[in-house]
Amino acid sequence: MIVCFDIGGTAIKGAVATNPDDIRQFPRVPTPANDFDAFVAALRTVIDAAGGRPDCIALSIAGIIDPDTRRAVVANIPCIHGRPLAADLEAALGLPVVVANDADCFVLAEAGLGAGRGHRVVFGVILGTGVGGGLVIDGKLINSDGGFAGEWGHGPVAATEAGTPPVHLPRFSCGCGQKGCIDATCSARGLEKLHSHIHGVALTSEEIIEAWSKGDGAAARTIDVYVDVIASPLALVVNVTGATILPVGGGLSNARGLLSAIDEAVRGRTLRRFPRPIVVPAECRMEPGLIGAALLGLEAAAATR
C-alpha cells in the first residue's frame, strides 16, 4: 500500500493505492502554503486515515525537483520551495518519499491507464495556464530523478510570423525570464495575447474558442495563427522523441476542435507520417496528477521489496 498526493496551491488531494486499479481518494485538505510543519501535519492526516503503514509516499507537485541540488522549485507554495523536499519529508514522516512534477505524473497516468496505453513512447502535453509536458519511454519517466525534460513550452522558439497570410508577432515575455516561449504564446493567456495583438480586442480564451466554433472570422484568424505557431515545435518534439501519441490535458484540451486542428497541422510537419490522430484528448480526466503519483509510488515500493 502507498499513499499519494497531488499538491496544489490551495488544496492537497490524497489517495491510498494498493495497485493501479485500486486508487481510493480521500477528501481534499487545504494546503498550508507558508508553514512546513503544518504542511507535514496535513499529509500525516491523510496517511493516518489510510489504515496502516504505507510502503511509500508519492507526491505530484506543480514544480520541479532540481536534479543537481534535489531542491524543489515550487513558486506557489513557499514552505516547500527551495527545500530538499523528499529528504525533509522522509525525516518528518519516517517513510520513503518520491516526488515528481505534475506534468510528469500526468503523462505517467496517460501512459499507464489513459490514451497512451500500448504506446512505447508517450509525450504528454499540457495546454492551460501554462504549456508543459512530460515524456515516458517503456513505461518509465525520463524525469525519474527530477529535471526539466519535457518542458517544451520554454525556450525562445516561437515564430515571429504565422498564419495564412502571415502576420508579424512580437516575442512575448515569458514568466521563465525569456522572450518568445511557446508558453507565452500558446497557453490560454498566450491565445488571448495573440487575439489582442491581431485584432486589438481583449477576449478570454473561452470566448475566442466559442466564437471560432460559431464561425466568427476574427476568432478563426487567431486560431489559424495559434495553430501555426504551436504545430512546428510540437512536430519537432515528435521527431526528437519518437513519440507516437501525445495526450493533451489542461483547460484548452476541452476544445476538441482545437486539438483536431493542432493534430492535423502537426502530422503534416513530422518526418514520420501518421495515418491516425496523434494529438488526442487525455483519457484520465479525473485527477491525472494523483493517478500518476500513485503509479510512481507503487513502482518505487515494488523496487524496494
Rounded CA separation 182/250 (Å):
15
Does the pLDDT at position 285 exceed 80?
no
Q: Is 11 helix (H, G, I), strand (E, B) or coil?
A: strand
- What would the mean pLDDT of 65-79 be, rounded to a whole number? 90
pTM greater than 0.75: yes
User: And the C-alpha cell for 121?
Assistant: 513512447
Q: For residue 276, how many other CB atoms are within 10 A of its CB?
A: 9
The 10s digit of each residue's pLDDT in 93-112 is 999 999 999 999 999 999 99
Q: In what order do the strands lie in the sheet with 246-249?
A: 140-141, 131-137, 121-127, 246-249, 279-281
Does the pLDDT at position 305 exceed 80?
no
* CATH superfamily placement of domain 2-105+286-304: ATPase, nucleotide binding domain (3.30.420.40)
The 10s digit of each residue's pLDDT in 163-181 is 999 999 999 999 889 999 9
- What would the mean pLDDT of 126-138 be, rounded to a whole number? 94
Rounded CA separation 72/212 (Å):
40
Among residues of the chain, what percentage have pLDDT more than 90?
A: 84
The 10s digit of each residue's pLDDT in 220-270 is 999 999 999 999 999 999 999 999 999 999 999 999 999 999 999 999 999
Give the pLDDT band of residue 289 (cuts 50, 70, 90).
Answer: confident
CATH 3.30.420.40 domain locations along the chain:
2-105+286-304, 117-281
Please state which architecture CATH assigns to domain 117-281.
2-Layer Sandwich (3.30)
Compute CA distances 39 → 36, 46, 57, 92, whole Å.
5, 11, 14, 11
